[in-house]
Each structure stands twice: as structure tokens, then as C-alpha cells.
Chains A and B, each alone.
Chain A
Amino acid sequence: MTSIHPILVIGIGNDYRRDDAVGLYVARKIREKDLDGVKVIDGISDGTSLIDAWEHAARVYFIDGTISGSLAGKIFRFDGLNETIPHELFPPFSTHAINVADAVRLAETLGQFPPSLIIFGIEGKNFEAGYGLAEAVQSAAEEVIGRIIREIEELGRNGH
């Protein structure tokens, strides 16, 4: 694991808006694993900060809650460099004045993409004020944590 290039895991959301906290939850759980070469950021002030954050990273995992009308707990995974991120998935009125999809488009326009960007979205159910994830969202978060860790370990084994 020591030979891998720096990996950045970014989770965003609001701890006090129930399922909006799912990105933060995933990021913090991955931080607890203390993986070599992995930096974790839980929370940014707005989308443009993403561009700053991933400036020196070789691979970025980004996790946020989504509102698409799908069943709670549905997991979305996008290759940020090769797939178009549906703008409507990420709430434009979140705490992020420039939202994720816009930040990715802005980074692309400015040529400031990391070499690899993987975006996980987890469909939320309840974004009201309060604490705690819905059961389906919590289960999805655990699955995403496992998938990201497996991908990172795979990268390590392959000497990336």
C-alpha cells in the first residue's frame, strides 16, 4: 500500500440534515481505516473548494447524497472523467453554493481535473433537520465504504 500515489477521499454534506450527512459518514469511516497514502476530507465550504482539494491527488473518490427520486439507498457511481454527471442528482441548493456537478464541469473547463475522479452518489430519503441516516441509506453507505476500500487495495496491489 505504501507505493500508491496519494488518494483523496472527499465526503460532503450536513451532519444536521439527516441523510445529507451520508457523504461525511462514508469519509469518516474510511479515515478510521488509516490507509496508507489516503487523505480524507469530510466537508468543504462549496464546490470550488473541490478543485483546490484535488490539485495534487492522483485519484479522487467523492461521495455525496443525491436526490433523484430513486429509492433511498440507491448507489450511483460515475467516472468523472469519462461520464456526464446528471446535474439534477446533486441538490443545487445544498450547502455548496457551486454544486458538485458544476464544480466538475468548471474543473473540466479549466483543465484542472485530477488524473482519476470517481463519484459516488447515495440516494437520500430524509433531508429534514435532525441526526442519523435512514436504514437503507446507512446500508448503502456501508456498501460504498467497502467498495472504495476494495478499489484502493486493488490499486495498491497493482502498484498504482
Chain B
Amino acid sequence: MKSKSIKVDYLARVEGEGRLLVKIKNNKVSDVKFNIIEPPRFFEAFLRGRRFTEAPDITARICGICPVAYQMSSLHAMESICGKKVTGPLRDLRRLLYCGEYIESHALHIYLLHAPDFLGYEDAIQMAKDHPELVKKALRLKKIGNDLMILLGGREIHPINVKVGGFYKVPTKKQLEEHIEPLKWALEFALETVKVTATLPFPDLERDYEFVSLHHPEEYPLCEGKLVSNKGVDITIDDFLKCFEEEHVEHSTSLHARVKARGDYLVGPMARYNNNFDRLPAVARKAAKEAGLEKSCSNPFKSIIVRAVETAFACHEALRLIKKYEMPDKPYVEVKPRQGTGHGCTEAPRGILYHRYKIDSNGVIQDARIIPPTSQNQKSIEADLLRFVEKNIELPHDKLTWQCEQVVRNYDPCISCSCHFLKLKIERE
């Protein structure tokens, strides 16, 4: 009996801590476990007894990379309970803040976390030795996203300027216009990034994914829309828990989500792209086409190109929003609490982030439920690994281990959000 084990005890370049175990018996994969080992964070319990207005600031603390997503999902849930809808320039500013988070998060992942995998570098530092100008540009791109977040969110990390009903303070048109020239540069570099990423060597891996994302009638989805999939999901976000469920698995402190009727599904850039290609601006669609991406993409390694396309979208969208901006008279609309249950689901850079809250008539949170994108992708990550190892079982141990890590990083997993972390081990027996 031939046995083999591949072990990576600490998987670098993912946010949070996790471990991966792949068992191979008689040259066949016998088990794959995506094992999240960071203690659960109990944020849902922290929220009980707090004011409904506190949810955006508390949940922003769940993640240093995508705090805006947490804020947006909680805001939408609370406003839906209270029967308020934020429109006009305040809605546009929220979308602009989200564009800042996309630019920052995608630039970080594409160049500093994911590209080194494809180019055979141990990390971004090694890559920077050979490609210093590219890495400098990547840092500049990331900073342009950061700067938008600082302006609208009040500070770079865990923004404090958003509130239920709008913002504490809104920028002047002049303040926003100062970002136009940097964003024009960012758009050009994002388009260059689409070209650069398209030349990377992509391992062969395709699966029949169920892509789940928001879908909006007019725009590439960030904050609003129905939940759809390429396999028939078409629901309002209020029905999220009717369609999806979470299960506890022994090897992970993060719950695994599944489509009740079918099983694993994929959220994030690939899902958004596949479900919303027609909603991308022409410049992003053209760049995708020239990069060889079809309207549909099922190779998860190519998610790096999709992220570049989405970065171009975010820069283009930010410019559009800034140009049309007129400063509102008031930075927020009044939102009075009322008893009820509400749902919020927005597109974090890593995929849909669902929040549900129950509040009483005084606005005190009675119950909270948060389902982050990485929880939703865990089953899909395991399925990708299973397929990838089966197809590449004869690869040398080191190369197989390296590429398994890459499979995980395709998802840009934010493990500290999902529980919330990764170590990789492949055992052959």
C-alpha cells in the first residue's frame, strides 16, 4: 500500500488562521478537510443587548480588510427593519466607500498575496526584488482605495463615519474631486493589471460551480439586488435562510454553508462576474474580452483576472459617482427604531455577506446572525482541492503542496471573518 502525506502547518498569505488536511490512500484522495482553528469570535452574542445603531461599528471590527462590507450589510438590515431606504447622494457615497474597499482589497490580494503563487515566488518581498516597479504601482493602487476609505469612513481601519441612515459627515464636492486624478491613474493601472494577470500560467481546474451573488437590474452589484445563481436561485435576501443553511462540522470552528437543495456553492468575484457580466462598464468588459475571459469563467485560478476586472470596475464606478455627486443638505436621514426582523446582504470583496437582526421597539438587538463569505466558500474550497489533487496526484510532493495552497488562496479567504483561520497537510497512505 502506497502512502503519502503533504503537510503545510501554516498557510501564509491568507487572513486568519486555518489548516488544510488532504489524505491520499492508494493514490486516491480519501479525505479533504478545510480546518479552521481560530476560536470562534462570538460577535453574534456581543451584539445582543446593544443598540441597533451600534451594529455597524461593532461588526466592522470583525475584519480589518473588509470592514465596509460588515457596515453595509448591517446598515441595510437595520434600515429595512425601520422602514427607511437611503437614496440619492447618500446611497452613492456608500457605493463609493465600497469601491474604495474593493480597490484596496483586490490590489492587496492580486499583487501581494496571489501573484507570487503564479510566478513561483515565496512571497511578495521576493517578487518585489525582480519586479519593484510593479509592486510599487500595486501599493499606489491600494493606497488610492485606502484614501477613499479614509475620506468617507473617517479613518483607514474600521471606519467610524457611517451610521444607520447615512453618514455622520459627508465630503464636499471639492474633497471628492481631489480623488479624480489618482482614480484615473488607478483605472489605467487596473486595466494594465487585467493584461498582466492574463499572462500568468493557470493550472487546469474546472468545476460545475453554483455561482451565488447579488444581481441588480441596472448596476454591477455591491449593496443591493436579488440573490441569484446559475442553477436557479432567484430570491430576495429576506429568503436567504430558506434557501441556504449552515452546518457544524467537527474539523472547523466556522460553520459550513450549503444550498439546501444541492450543497456547495461559490461566492465572490467569480460568482459576481458570471452572474453580472452585462452590468460591468464597457471598459471592464472590453478588458476582460481582450484578456481572453469569456462571459462565463469556471477556472478558479483565473479569479485573479476577474479581480483585476473588478478593480477596473471599481475605479470606473468611483469616477462616475464622484462626477455626479452633489453634497446633500443633511448627511443622514432620521431612522427611528421599530420592532422587527430584517436582513442585509451586500457583496464583500470575497462574496456575499449576510446579516439578520431582530430588534425590539426600543432598538435593542435581541438576536443577530452573520454569515460571512468565507464560511459560504468552505465547502467549495474542499471540493476544489479534492478535484485538484485527484487530477494532479502524481505531481512531486512540494509542487502539489504549493498548488494546493494556491487553490485555497484563489478564494482570498478571510478566515478571521469566518470564525474565524489555515494550515495545509496532505497525507498519503
Partner-B contacts on A (CB < 8 A): 14-16, 43-46, 48-49, 51-52, 92-93, 95-98, 102, 105-106, 109-112, 128-129
Cβ of A45 and Cβ of B129 under 8 Å apart? no
Cβ of A49 and Cβ of B41 under 8 Å apart? no
Residues on the B chain within 8 Å of A92, using CB:
10, 12
Give Cα A109–Cα B156 distance, bound, in whole angstroms.
25
Give Cα A98–Cα B61 distance, bound, in whole angstroms.
18
Contact A110 to B128, CB < 8 A, known contacts A45-B64, A93-B421: yes
Give Cα A106–Cα B136 distance, bound, in whole angstroms.
10
Cβ of B142 and Cβ of A48 under 8 Å apart? yes
Cβ of B64 and Cβ of A106 under 8 Å apart? no
Cβ of B156 and Cβ of A45 under 8 Å apart? yes
Does chain A have a CB within 8 A of B286? no
Cβ of B65 and Cβ of A102 under 8 Å apart? no
Give Cα A95–Cα B108 distance, bound, in whole angstroms.
14
Chain B, Cβ-Cβ closest to A104: B125
Cβ of A52 and Cβ of B17 under 8 Å apart? no
A92 to chain B, nearest CB (A): 7
Interface residues on chain B, number (Cβ under 8 Å): 35
Q: Among the listed A95, A102, A128, which residue makes an inter-chain contact with B416, where contact means beta carbons less than 8 Å apart? A: A95
Cβ of B39 and Cβ of A44 under 8 Å apart? no
Cβ of A48 and Cβ of B64 under 8 Å apart? no
Cβ of A129 and Cβ of B139 under 8 Å apart? no
Chain B, Cβ-Cβ closest to A109: B128
Give Cα A46–Cα B158 distance, bound, in whole angstroms.
12
Give Cα A93–Cα B65 distance, bound, in whole angstroms.
13
Give Cα A129–Cα B46 distance, bound, in whole angstroms.
11
Number of A-B contacts (CB under 8 A): 72
Does chain A have a CB within 8 A of B113? yes
Cβ of A97 and Cβ of B156 under 8 Å apart? no
Q: How does the 8 Å CB contact mask read for B119-136 relative to A, with 1 for contact and 0 for none?
A: 000011100110010011
Give Cα A43–Cα B64 distance, bound, in whole angstroms.
10
Give Cα A52–Cα B147 distance, bound, in whole angstroms.
11
Considering residues A45, A95, A128, A129, which has the most beta carbons from chain B within 10 angstroms of its beta carbon? A45
Give Cα A48–Cα B124 distance, bound, in whole angstroms.
11
Cβ of A44 and Cβ of B65 under 8 Å apart? no
Residues on the B chain within 8 Å of A52, using CB:
139, 143, 146
Residues on the B chain within 8 Å of A112, using CB:
136
Residues on the A chain within 8 Å of B16, using CB:
93
Chain B, Cβ-Cβ closest to A128: B39
Among B8-56, those with CB < 8 Å from A are 10, 12-13, 15-17, 38-39, 41-42
- A44-B157, A48-B139, A109-B129 are known; give 20 further A-B pairs, CB within 8 A: A16-B61, A43-B155, A43-B157, A45-B65, A45-B104, A45-B146, A46-B65, A46-B108, A48-B108, A49-B146, A52-B146, A93-B16, A95-B416, A96-B64, A98-B112, A102-B123, A102-B125, A105-B125, A106-B128, A129-B42
Contact A109 to B132, CB < 8 A, known contacts A52-B143, A102-B125: yes
What would 19 A/B residue contacts be, using CB atoms closer than 8 Å?
A43-B157, A43-B158, A45-B64, A45-B157, A48-B142, A92-B10, A93-B17, A95-B64, A97-B13, A97-B15, A97-B64, A97-B65, A97-B112, A102-B125, A105-B125, A106-B128, A109-B132, A110-B128, A110-B136
Contact A46 to B125, CB < 8 A, known contacts A51-B139, A110-B132, A110-B136: no
B185 to chain A, nearest CB (A): 15
Q: Among the listed B15, B17, B64, B125, which residue makes an inter-chain contact with A109, where contact means beta carbons less than 8 Å apart? A: B125
Cβ of B125 and Cβ of A106 under 8 Å apart? yes
Residues on the B chain within 8 Å of A102, using CB:
123-125
Residues on the A chain within 8 Å of B416, using CB:
93, 95
Give Cα A93–Cα B420 distance, bound, in whole angstroms.
11
